[in-house]
Amino acid sequence: MNPEPRDNGRAGLHVGIIMDGNGRWARRRGLPRWRGHLAGVESVRDVVRACPELGISTLTLYAFSSDNWKRPRGEIGRLFWLLREYCRREQDELQANGARVVAIGRRDRIPKSALAALEEAEARTREGNTLLLRLAIDYSARWAIAQAARSLALKVEAGEIEPDQVTAETLHRELTGGLPDPDLLIRTAGEQRLSDFLLWESAYAELYFSPVLWPDFRREHLEAAIAEFRRRERRFGGLVPKARPETAAELLAAAAAELRLG
Ligand code: FPP
């Protein structure tokens, strides 16, 4: 993996992915749903490996939403088994490539052996600084926002901050710990909704919906998403930024135009 930042001096992109379509992929092949999840692990591997070269320094994967508890017990069990095996089998490569694994979401309901594998992967890769790989497990954005709000309320109660210090900025810091917001949010399999994923943090994220089912999603699909992202104009509520003059001649022409206008 390449540790060089590649985004014009910025630390790299933060990309979030809602990995959807595993069930449909399996059904089309006459396979049980969990086989779609199994095939999806291969996509996770491929995409994670591609990140540094594509200028992605943070990748947040929606692996298990808090609403996924509504699924049949057998499917839930297999999903956590896959997560456990992924952590166990991939941690060496992740560590060698400078990735750092961090789980986001609730930990108190994750089956013990999956949680142990996850925490071992977190500990083993703690020093990684090439790619921050965030696995959203038992995750709900609304829950995370409520947690951050509760934490600020407790600080007010303890007299550490004043009520008027509860602002969008302090809530943001409480929620994200200062991690840059996602630049790009990808959802696979054609659905066009956020499903309680990174709701606050994605206020200005570019949204990209791919028709490709997650188990078929590979590096080239991620590359296409990044290429589309780079073509988009991000204004963050402001005006279109002026193109920066690149050459001395362009600089002089721009200065002359400025003088004529002024
Ligand atoms: C959505 O597809 C996918 C999930 C609920 C689970 C995603 C999990 C993995 C890709 C495997 C494990 C993850 C890691 C990080 C190792 P769906 O079942 O809702 O598909 P459908 O909409 O076609 O039914």
Residue 186 half-sphere exposure, CB side, CA atoms within 13 Å?
29
> What is the fold of 13-261?
Undecaprenyl pyrophosphate synthetase (3.40.1180)
Please give the angle made by the CA atoms of 106, 66 and 93, to the nearest 5 degrees.
Answer: 65
pLDDT of residue 207: 98
**Residues catalogued as catalytic:** 20, 68
Residues 120 and 87 sit within 8 Å (Cβ to Cβ): yes
pLDDT of residue 257: 54
pLDDT of residue 254: 53
Which atom of ligand 1 is least distant from the CA of 135?
Answer: 15
Measure 157 CA to ligand 1 centroid, in angstroms: 40
Q: Domain ranges in the chain?
A: 13-261
Measure 42 CA to ligand 1 centroid, in angstroms: 12
Q: Would the CB of 23 count as within 6 Å of ligand 1?
A: yes
pLDDT of residue 11: 81
pLDDT under 70: residue ranges of the chain? 1-10, 241-262
Measure 241 CA to ligand 1 centroid, in angstroms: 38
0.85 exceeded by pTM:
yes
Q: Would the CB of 87 count as within 6 Å of ligand 1?
A: no
For residue 112, how far is the Cα from the chain centroid?
A: 25
pLDDT of residue 107: 98
As a whole number of angstroms, the distance between CA 37 and CA 56 comes to: 24
Which atom of ligand 1 is least distant from the CA of 82?
Answer: 12
Measure 22 CA to ligand 1 centroid, in angstroms: 5
Output the residue whose Cα is nearest ligand 1's atom 24.
23
Which atom of ligand 1 is least distant from the CA of 24?
Answer: 23
Q: Which residues of 5-33 are buried (b: 16+ CB within 10 A; e: fewer)?
A: ebeeeeebbbbbbbbbbbbbbbeeeeeeb
For the chain, what is the radius of gyration of the CA atoms? 21
